[in-house]
Structure 1
Amino acid sequence: MRLVQEQRTKINDQPIIAFTLTNDHGMEITCLNYGCIITNILVPDKNGNYENIVLAFDDFSSYLTNRPYLGAVIGRVAGRIKNSCFELNGKTYKLYANENKNHLHGGEKGFHHVIWQAAGFSKKEEVGVRFSHRSIDGEEGYPGNVNVQVTYTLNNQNEFIISYHAISDQDTPLTLTNHTYFNLSGNAKRDILQHELKIKSDRFLPLDHKFIPTGEIKDVAGTLFDLRQGKVLKEVIDSTDPQIFLVGQGYDHPFILNTHHDEEIVLCDRESGRTLIVETDEPAVVVYTGNQLPNEETINGIPPRKYLGICLETQALPDAVHHPHFPSCILRAGEVYSSTTKYAFRLSHE
């Protein structure tokens, strides 16, 4: 196991550090203390070629805006909050509106724009980085001082584990996720249309025209949201389903998971032989097929385009603050928020 860290640049005299984690099999992950952003995950294909299977900007300055949220930790609340407000304990809180009138992914300065405190660690069978940040009362409109810790760990089973931990001195909404875009073809040499996605989910959330859950919880049976047996993404993207059309001809939808830490999310690219298995204790995963990728900055050496990557955002249900029948995303004062998502990389030689 190996840990290397190097300074890439500075922001307001604060160093931006890249941490590179390498296991004994040559799998490698690079992440930054800025936004906990993941810039590289190098894994082999079926022929033993190690390539990057996540999207990353070519120039660090692009992360200062990072409109697609490439590779970053998202918080305090992942997803959209309708009308940028919520009521809690009889008080109405107004959040920063950064997408029309709505609040998206933590606001203007969400966790993806934070320079986190970071410390690497190395053990016999794992290597990692522990990030920490104190989100102050009133930040982006949220109540409470929240101490947040995010730990990235790479082990010798070619598993990458993200552990989230937080505690607040006031009740506050909180659900964290990671917004990495995966492309298992390697170095983004193909888009994700031939990737196959399988999810153990019987129900999904339809969206309104602003991509916010309507409140309905719908059965996936007989729809393009039935991924229990797996679907090639091109089949979804080529469809005329109104929900698929609504978000730019793809997915940007929450799927409620039937099971946890049970190979509940599987992404496969048969040509490269790479398979990604995602396991989590979160209630849902938001699947986003890169339908709205902006094309201003180059990504992985090429101009970005639709369907260049897919996000698998494990989290609470979006806009849960407005839907009492959704599982609550409120972190009570003094209670501990704890969540783990594991990304296991496997090979198929079909």
Structure 2
Amino acid sequence: MAQREPEIRRELFGRVGDTDVHRYVLAWPGGLTVRVLDLGGVVQSVEAPDRSGVPANVVLGFGSLDEYVKNNQPGGNRVFFGALVGRYANRIAGGRFSLDGVSYELPLNNGANTLHGGPDGFDTRVWSAAEVRSADAVGVRLSLTSPAGDSGFPGAVSVSVTYLLDGQNRLRVVYRATSDAPTVLSLTNHSYWNLAGEGSGDVYRQTLMLNARRFCAVDDALIPVGDPVSVEGGPFDFQVPTAIGERIDGEDPQLRIAGGYDHNWVLEPGPVAARACDPGSGRVLTVSTTEPGMQFYSGNFLTSDLVGTGGRAYGRGAGFALEAQRFPDSPNRPDFPSAVLRPGEVYEQETVFQLSTED
């Protein structure tokens, strides 16, 4: 029997106004199958085998285009399932920042703050898409031009994000951007993972390791305050694998503020930034990144009116997000790693999600 080849397939997923939205199916024989939308760069599904070889979709998402469009409406409980977010991932306090002595005002969409680029962020756009095929990967390259003043941000920015699937069950996300004027930029993918399978219940028994000795404490608006603090011995210590739900409802004030985990961890150098495991299925997710921070969000605000690709309702803790990023509110925090992009510079980062199994 002839060996099957890796596959790229483009499908019409629907229309937004007069614009076609397509879904790209990336499939590696015996490995992962990944579905990506050109709307928002959404990773709609990732099918991965368990320890017995039985595949299941391990990311949260919606089954129809209408549901994605509905979730993007301003004023709603936007959950960013699988989306590429920008121009600035996470929160900017007060929706304002200064750069080179010039102040910029951004639209607010998270109380008094700007979250994930505002109400018309990159997750709401239909990106240009091109198939990518090499000797060791198949993928799709998404491109977008964000004009100067887009959502209040300075500079015309050209962005490309490439999803690459290979035979090692790795989904690589490669980001590149340039700007014609000084600006700030932080991009990430906002997939929610449930290694037991999408819609199977909460993730609280799944374990997580974060290669971080410090995290950013936050105020009531989830904006970092003060210097990063030690995780040692407390509920934010994931230096060794720990069940996500083991301490999530404790009395720590930081847990109370966020309703669980929704904080930035300061990553230590090393090949692995995070590792999660589902004991039941044996599935393991390993994340590596070039970024300095990792936002771990435990799905605290997911609600049962969200119905996923499998037709099952979600709810609190139905998935967890691991968002590789520059730190929240970095444009207002010169002590944080810089998020400034200047003309002649290239914004480059890569984050890799690898699926495997253990006994």
TM-score (norm 2): 0.95
Deviation per CA, 1:180-205, whole angstroms, max 9, x where unpaired?
A: 00000013213101010001101100
8 A Cα contact 2:201 2:314, kept in partner? no
What secondary structure, in the 3-state scheme, does the structure 1 residue paired with 2:335 have? Answer: coil
Q: CA deviation at 1:11?
A: 1.4
Partner of 1:296: 305
What is the CA RMSD across the aligned residues, in angstroms? 1.1
- What are the equivalent positions in structure 2 for 1:9-24 lying under 5 Å apart? 9-24=14-29
**Paired residues, number:** 347
| Pair 1:79 & 2:90 matched | yes
What secondary structure, in the 3-state scheme, does the structure 1 residue paired with 2:247 have? Answer: helix
Between the aligned partners of 1:332 and 1:215, the Cα distance in structure 2 is 27
Runs of 4+ with deviation above 6 angstroms: none
Between the aligned partners of 1:160 and 1:298, the Cα distance in structure 2 is 25
8 A Cα contact 2:51 2:357, kept in partner? yes
- What are the equivalent positions in structure 2 for 1:1-350 lying under 5 Å apart? 1-64=6-69, 65-66=71-72, 67-248=78-259, 250-260=260-270, 262-300=271-309, 301-349=311-359
Deviation per CA, 1:16-56, whole angstroms, max 9, x where unpaired?
A: 00000001224100000000001110000011110000001
Q: CA deviation at 1:217?
A: 1.1
What secondary structure, in the 3-state scheme, does the structure 1 residue paired with 2:66 have? Answer: helix
What secondary structure, in the 3-state scheme, does the structure 1 residue paired with 2:296 have? Answer: strand
User: Gaps spanning 5+ residues in structure 1: where?
Assistant: none
| Greater CA drift, 83-92 or 289-298 | 289-298
What secondary structure, in the 3-state scheme, does the structure 1 residue paired with 2:245 have? Answer: helix
What secondary structure, in the 3-state scheme, does the structure 2 residue paired with 1:235 have? Answer: coil
Between the aligned partners of 1:191 and 1:293, the Cα distance in structure 2 is 11
Give the fraction of aligned pairs with identical amino acids, expressed as a percent.
37
Between the aligned partners of 1:33 and 1:328, the Cα distance in structure 2 is 29
User: Gaps spanning 5+ residues in structure 2: where?
Assistant: 1-5, 73-77
What secondary structure, in the 3-state scheme, does the structure 1 residue paired with 2:104 have? Answer: strand
Between the aligned partners of 2:355 and 2:308, the Cα distance in structure 1 is 22
| Greater CA drift, 83-92 or 121-130 | 121-130
Q: CA deviation at 1:124?
A: 3.1
